[in-house]
Structure 1
Amino acid sequence: MISRRLAAVPVAVALLLAGCSSSSTPSSDAETGAPAAADASSLLRDFGLDGMDTREVIDHLDRLGGDERPTDLMASIRTDEVVLSDGTRETTLAMPADELYVSMAPYVDQTHDCFFHSLTTCQGELMNADVDILVRDDQGEVVLEETTTTYANGFVGVWLPRDLTGTVALTVDGRSVEAPLSTTADSATCLTGLQLA
């Protein structure tokens, strides 16, 4: 039994290091009260995020890479909110009602499992790479078509309409991948199974 527990430790550590979603669950307002509001305000201020709305916080943090990333801040994108925590303080920012942010990491050789995108720990393989993005709904209509550049974290994020079911096609340096995509209440905000061929 002890050897089974010891064998599980490296697996748990590997999942913690390789995964990119925070597993913390936000407390309800009834449990936290007024001090929590002060902590939330100071948390945002301490990380230079005060005065930003949800879109601005996401856009700012997702573009950071390497040493620019705050190492003591966890920021996880859920379908309904962004959860921000420094280990002692936690706050949430509501996601827009009509859009969902989906962050994607196309890759050639290496990726990791991810469901809820972490703005401060997820790291993709292809940093600062030009990428063509084509999103179609399940009727084949184009929802988004753009050429952009992956961020320093190897991801590229897009804001898409809610309740979309369709596909995303990514092309980088002549290699492409197409995958299912959705923006429903139970959808992933992090797509990492996008191997270019």
Structure 2
Amino acid sequence: MLSGCASVEASSTSTPISTDNDILAEHNLDGLDVGQLVNALDSMPLTDRPDGLTTSITAEALTLTDQHKHAVEVALPSDVIYVSIAPYQSQTHDCFHHSPTSCVGELRNVDVVVVVTNSETGETIFDENMQTFDNGFAGLWLPRDIQATITITRGGQAVTSSISTAGDDAQTCITTMQLT
């Protein structure tokens, strides 16, 4: 069964998070900047996911909530947004805001090539060979307020889709890209 909602470090996320909240310390995540925090959560093996910790990444923030309903919200940088993409072959799920601790895609730990092109300028803003995380997602830090085209290739299969990183409620979880 697949459920909702990986990773490139954001260069503008080097400021450590300062919080009195025990959630980060309890899960050995304290002292990390938001880019490191997102990467640690998204790249976590499925078997290591902590019980009782839920997460959500919106265009504005990463939110962590524990089993006691204590929550901490960490703002994303003002110039980039984290978008997690789970390409698939035969099974997918609906998702809008990525959840590193509960989302699972079909193609776990597979090599893919990801190319992102700014639709307005034609500039290639991301072009890398990646491996999806154990959760089946590849995570990208993309510039805010752009319209882009994403192409994912795996072996002889490819898929292209449009994405927008504009607005406070931009989609952070893409699960509709079927490789054919």
Higher RCO (Cα < 8 Å, 6 or more apart): 2
Cα RMSD after superposing both structures: 1.5
- Unaligned stretches of 5+ in structure 2? 6-18
Does 1:62 pair with 2:42? Answer: yes
Does 1:46 pair with 2:26? Answer: yes
After TM superposition, give the deviation of residue 71 of structure 1 in Å. Answer: 2.3
After TM superposition, give the deviation of residue 19 of structure 1 in Å. Answer: 3.9
After TM superposition, give the deviation of residue 156 of structure 1 in Å. Answer: 0.4
Larger Rg, first or second structure (1 or 2): 1
Which residue type is aligned with residue 163 of structure 1? D
- Identify the match of residue 151 of structure 2 among 144, 169, 178: 169
Is the Cα contact below 8 Å between 1:71 and 1:120 reproduced in 2? no
- Identify the match of residue 96 of structure 1 among 55, 66, 77: 77
* Residues 81-101 of structure 1: per-residue CA shift (max 9 Å, x gap): 101001321010010111111
Is the Cα contact below 8 Å between 2:3 and 2:105 reproduced in 1? no
Which residue type is aligned with residue 187 of structure 1? A
1:83 alignment counterpart = 63
After TM superposition, give the deviation of residue 157 of structure 1 in Å. Answer: 0.2
Distance, in Å, in 2 between the alignment partners of 1:99 and 1:55 is 10
User: What TM-score, normalized by structure 1, do the two folds share?
Assistant: 0.79
- Identify the match of residue 107 of structure 2 among 122, 126, 129: 126
1:187 alignment counterpart = 170
- Unaligned stretches of 5+ in structure 1? 1-13, 21-36
After TM superposition, give the deviation of residue 48 of structure 1 in Å. Answer: 0.7
Give 1 or 2: higher helix fraction.
1
Number of residue-to-residue matches in the alignment: 164
- Identify the match of residue 73 of structure 1 among 49, 53, 57: 53
Where in structure 1 do 4 or more consecutive aligned residues deviate above 3 Å?
17-20
User: What TM-score, normalized by structure 2, do the two folds share?
Assistant: 0.87
Distance, in Å, in 2 between the alignment partners of 1:46 and 1:105 is 29
* Residues 98-152 of structure 1: per-residue CA shift (max 9 Å, x gap): 1111000000010100000001000011111110011011132211111111001
Partner-residue secondary structure (3-state), 1:167:
strand
Which residue type is aligned with residue 102 of structure 1? V
Which residue type is aligned with residue 53 of structure 2? L
